[in-house]
Structure formats: structure tokens, C-alpha cells
Homo-oligomer: A and B are copies of this chain.
Amino acid sequence: MPDTLITTPSSAFLGKLRTIVGDKGMVEDAQARAFHETDWRGFTMGRAAAVVKPASVEEVSAVVALCSEHGVKIVPQGGVTGLVGAGVPVRDGDEIVLSLARLNRILDVNPTAYTMTVEAGVVLQTIQETAAAHDRYFPISLGAQGSCMIGGNLSTNAGGATVLHYGNTRAMVLGLEVVLPDGRVWDGLRALKKDNTGYDLKDLFVGAEGTLGVITKAVLKIFPRPKDVATAWLAVPAPKAALELLAGARIAADDNVTSCELVHELGLEGIIKHIPGTQRPLQGRHTWQILMEWSSTRPIPEDGESGMRARMEAYLAGCMEKGLVDDAVIAQNEAQARAFWHIRESHAEAGRHSDPACSFDISVAVEKIPAFIEACNAAAETAVPGIRPRPMGHMGDGNLHYNFSAPVGVKARAEFAPTVKVLDRIVHDMVARFDGSISAEHGIGSIKLLELEHYRSQTELDVMRAIKKALDPKGTMNPGKVIRVDPSEAVREGTLMR
């Protein structure tokens, strides 16, 4: 599939860009440019003709209109922390990177209405901290929160460990402002909880990974700040028991189970070994462990009796009697709770020090998790003798990060690469058989584009293509990501290795 349509923008075009964004808005230093062209995992797939950082919605609009006029393609970009290659160039020299980093103002915080209005380039952690400063809470939290930007979170519909209770980023959105592919600005920046006036445009732009327009502002929901939090680390006999434990916990906790994360012994082992200062929360080895958190917005009662920790203790005691829990420890203070969370969040970092491994971001209906794990492990172990599966993740959402360590003895990533291809098909076929999703929270980007075409029905692909063509008839918004309008279009997906 030759890339015949690539034409590098002219220097006249680049001059016009500069006129719009000014010298401060042109990223020209080679090292700075490399940052914007390189995926979080360190891979480069394409080179941008220019990297621009407009300072206002008006400048974004003018840049996009100019690109539309000249047929120049645009890669909208936030904090460059995505995991599927959606926010970096995948072509050579006919795309510009449009960074939202300078649109970084918090425009309004309204604790009474529980809303916050922000520009797309605000860093996620800044939003969390701003909410906390107003005795409020913004629940989206991710490993990358110190550098990822809300525009990117919105464009990928980011998930994380609190989706169970609060929903993913989509659920936080009341209104959006979006620069459309022709440069016009759609002002959907409404702070309305109810609005049944025509098609739900905002949910179309959320999760579209920048292929339908550039999100520039959002009105977000914020929440009461949790004030009584109980955090437990548990060993369970099997995933099925974990599921029962969770179903009962929702009732016992007044529907306040805010996280329920599955941890696999093999993953924990790697973390204890490689991450300084970590230690096992429980004695001994347990294949299946759970990090569970209950959060209440009421202050801890003074008698301590009906507080979250007491209620959790009573509930877990009952679960141990029923054989749903083998062992458990409830964090006695915030430091211990943070230590539990540090373990959970160190999976990615530990992976960098361990044997070659690969990871799949999949989901199935919650109740199918036990059967899925059994079937998927069996299929992988049959096809790849010695493979070491260690599924973990957001069990309460049906979302597993299905990780595999290479068989003992395989030390080189290159040696493991062909096996990853085999596992791709095994895991994703199994997901299809269980009516699941091949991307639960990371998105499609460029690296899963062909997988999506492989697994989704022709009807569904046709509907997506029709929408893409309708909103971006010139095909200038983030091409090569999510969906190809023309199935013969070249795709660069193989260059990114897990």
C-alpha cells in the first residue's frame, strides 16, 4: 500500500502558520520537536512538517482552517502519554502536530454547581488539585496524571481506577468546545445536566481521538470530596470469589465501592523485586489479590462505629467465613493506603525491569471475567508453552490489562516479538468469542486500527466511516487513527511494539 498522496507543505504554508501562532507558537528546536513526534513508549513513527502551539481557541481555529484549505493533515496533541499512537505523527512530513499545551487555563470553578470549566491543555493533576482546593473531587486518575492533559483524556475517554464508581472521562463532561475540521468553532460549552436538543454531539467528540475535531474547552463535573476512605488488600481463592465479594460490597458500602483492582501474584512479585521500598501487604503468596477501596463523602463519624473502615471490617469478616476471602488487611492510616496504591500503580514501571512481556487492554462483561481468564490462559498456554499469564486491572469494570511474561529463559525482546503476534490473535479472538472489547480504555489510535477493522462488523465500520466522512470530508483530522475511510489507505501500525 504505497503512500502516494503525501506531499510536504510548502514554505509559503509554513509562513502562514507562523503568522497565526507567532514565533512563540512554532516549535523549532530539534529536541523539543522530537518530544512531540515520539510516542510515550519511545517509538517514532513519522515526522511532522511543523509543530505548532497556538495560544488561544482563535489561533487553533485559524490553524485548522489554514490546514483544511491547503489539505494539510493535523495531529491534535495533549501530553503525549497515550498508549496507542493516536497523538503522534504516523506519516512523513505532510502532517503538522497541533499541541494544545498553551491552552492551559482553568476558566471557572463552581463548587455549588459542582462544575469546573477548563481549557484542553490543563494537566489532569492540576484539575484534581484545583477541585481539592475547593473541597471537591475530580475522580479521573491515571499513572500519567502529572503530564497528561484533559483534552487528551477527553479524546481517549480515559479510564483508570475509579471508573467503577464514577464512570470514565465521558461521564465527567457537561459541555465541550470543539474546533471542527474546517476550522469553525462548535460552541457546545454548556453547563447543563439535562439537554435533549438534538443529537448528542459531545459524546461523538469524546473518545474520537482527535479524528473529528479538536477539543479546546470542556465543562467538567466535579464531586464531593471523599472524607472517610477505607482501603483493603485481600487474597481471594479465585476470580469468581472476587466477583461475589464485589457484588456484596456494593450493598454493604452503600454503593460506595470506588475501586476494585485485581492484582496477580506474578505481577506483585515483579514489583516487590524491582520497585524500591515496596513490600507485600499480606503474608505468603496468593495467585489472586484484590485492592479494594470504599469512599464516603461524610466525615468519619466520631464514635467510629459506622465509619467506612468499621463497615468494611464487618463485611470482610463475613466474606472470610463464607470462603470468599482467604486473607485481608485494611490500611490503618493514609500512609498504608498510599503504599497499597503505590504497588498497584507500579505495574508499568516494574514491567520495564522485568523479562520481556506484552499487555492487552481488554474488557468483557463483568460476570464473564472468571470464565474469560480460564479460557484465555488455557489457549495461550497451549499455543505458547511456558508463557506466563498475569491478568490484572480494573476487575469491577470488566477491564483487564492482560499481561504475559515471556517463558522463563527468553531474555531478549526481539526473541519474544513473534510470540506477541501469536498472542495478539489468541487474546483478541477470545475477546471476540466473549463479546468483549479489544480496547477497554486506551483507545484504537494507529496501533489497533487494523485489529478494529478485523473484529468489528462491516455495518459498524460503515457507520463510523460515514460519520468520519460527514464531519471531516477532506480527511485532514488525524488520519491513520481509529478508522480509515478508504480501506486501501496505508497504515503504520507495525512499528509500535508493546
* Cα distance, A479 to B162, chains bound together (Å): 41
Contact call A365/B470, Cβ cutoff below 8 A: no
* Cα distance, A440 to B196, chains bound together (Å): 5
A174-217: contact bitstring with B at CB < 8 Å (1 yes, 0 no)? 00000010001111101111111111110110111000100000
- Identify which of A363, A394, A399, A448 gathers the most chain B CB atoms within 10 Å of its CB: A363
Asked if A156 is an interface residue, CB under 8 A from chain B, the answer is yes
Contact call A198/B365, Cβ cutoff below 8 A: no
Contact call A440/B199, Cβ cutoff below 8 A: no
* Cα distance, A448 to B185, chains bound together (Å): 25
A387-399: contact bitstring with B at CB < 8 Å (1 yes, 0 no)? 0000000100111
Asked if A224 is an interface residue, CB under 8 A from chain B, the answer is yes
Q: Which residue of B lies closest to A199 (CB)?
A: B464
Residue of B204, B367, B398, B463 touching A203 (CB-CB under 8 A): B204
Asked if A452 is an interface residue, CB under 8 A from chain B, the answer is yes
Within 8 Å CB of A399, what residues of B? 193-194
Within 8 Å CB of A114, what residues of B? 247, 250, 366
Q: A409 CB to closest chain B CB, in angstroms?
A: 35
Within 8 Å CB of A358, what residues of B? none
* Cα distance, A255 to B452, chains bound together (Å): 39
Q: Name which of A29-37, A296-304, A346-354, A413-421 contacts chain B.
A: A296-304
Q: Name which of A52-60, A261-269, A430-438 contacts chain B.
A: A430-438
Within 8 Å CB of A460, what residues of B? 186-188, 198, 201
- Name the prevailing secondary structure of the A interface residues: loop
Within 8 Å CB of A187, what residues of B? 457, 459-460
Asked if A383 is an interface residue, CB under 8 A from chain B, the answer is no
Asked if A359 is an interface residue, CB under 8 A from chain B, the answer is no
* Cα distance, A457 to B187, chains bound together (Å): 8
* Cα distance, A398 to B250, chains bound together (Å): 29
Asked if A251 is an interface residue, CB under 8 A from chain B, the answer is yes
Residue of B168, B193, B247 touching A366 (CB-CB under 8 A): B193
Given A200-B203, A204-B199, A467-B467, A365 and B397 contact (CB-CB distance below 8 Å): no
28 residue pairs from A and B, CB less than 8 Å apart:
A112-B366, A112-B367, A114-B250, A163-B194, A168-B194, A185-B459, A186-B459, A186-B460, A187-B459, A192-B365, A193-B366, A194-B363, A195-B363, A195-B440, A196-B207, A197-B448, A197-B452, A198-B444, A198-B483, A199-B207, A199-B468, A199-B483, A201-B464, A204-B204, A250-B297, A251-B298, A255-B256, A469-B470
